């Protein structure tokens, strides 16, 4: 996890860049375990670390967000019910 206080300027810049590309970005929220997340677009939630990764790769646009979410989904094991 990044030190968010050290990267505040980068986070603000990343959110501004997403908005300049027409991507809706909500206010930051904090999960129960302390992770900072943002609602991005209509259907996505990204962590601050994911947003900073997109910034570092110069992929802060709707396509970069989509690819990041798809990669995250494909890396997550499918849901399995208990007692099966």
* 3-43 confidence digits (pLDDT tens): 677 889 999 999 999 999 899 999 999 999 999 999 998 88
- Number of residues written out for the chain: 84
Sorted by sequence, the CB contacts under 8 Å of residue 10 that are 6+ apart come out as 52, 55
3-state helix, strand, coil in the chain (%, to 5): 45, 15, 45
* 34-84 confidence digits (pLDDT tens): 999 999 988 888 999 999 999 999 998 888 888 888 887 777 665 555 554
Give the pLDDT confidence score for residue 1 in this predicted structure. Answer: 46
């Amino acid at each position: 996890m990044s030190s968010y206080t050290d990267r505040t300027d980068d986070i603000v810049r990343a959110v501004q860049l997403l908005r300049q590309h027409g991507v809706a970005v909500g206010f930051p929220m904090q999960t129960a375990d302390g992770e900072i997340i943002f609602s991005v677009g209509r259907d996505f939630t990204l962590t601050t670390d994911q947003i900073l990764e997109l910034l570092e790769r110069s992929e802060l646009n709707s396509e970069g967000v989509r690819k990041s979410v798809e990669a995250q989904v494909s890396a997550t094991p499918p849901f399995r019910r208990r007692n099966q």
